Amino acid sequence: MDELMRQRRVYGADHDDPDPGPKAGHEYRELVGGPLDGLLLDVTGWTDAALRDGARLVTEIGAYGPGGRSEYKPRLVEPLKWDWRGDTH
C-alpha cells in the first residue's frame, strides 16, 4: 500500500477514530466525485458480482440529507476507482 493510500480516510470510519485510514490486508476502492469524494471503500470479501455492481452508500451529506444514499459504480477502464452516479433516498 503506497503512502498516499495510507493517508486516506475509509468510508464509515468514526470522525474521532485515531486511525481512520486503510488497514493492511484489506482491499479498497477509491470513491470519485459526489459527497464521498476521496474516501476509500473497504471491499474486502466482496464477490465479483458485487464489485461489478458498485454500491449505494448511506451518507448525511448527500442531496437527501440523513438517510440518503450516494451511488458509486466502478469505471470500465479503471475499476479501482468508483465514480459517483447520483444521490437517492
Q: What is the pLDDT of residue 54?
A: 97
Q: What is the pLDDT of residue 1?
A: 54
Q: What is the DSSP string of 18-67?
A: S--S--TT--EEEEESSTTTT-EEE-TT--HHHHHH-EEEEESSSTT-TT
Q: What is this structure's pTM?
A: 0.88
CA angle 56, 62, 67 (to 5 degrees): 65
Outline where DSSP puts E strands in 1-89.
Answer: 28-32, 40-42, 55-59, 68-74, 81-88
Q: What gap in Å lies between CA 30 and CA 51, rounded to an integer? A: 12
Q: What is the pLDDT along the chain (89 residues), one digit of tens a residue?
A: 555 566 789 999 887 888 899 999 999 999 999 999 999 999 999 999 999 999 999 998 888 888 899 999 999 999 999 999 999 98
Q: What is the pLDDT of residue 14?
A: 83
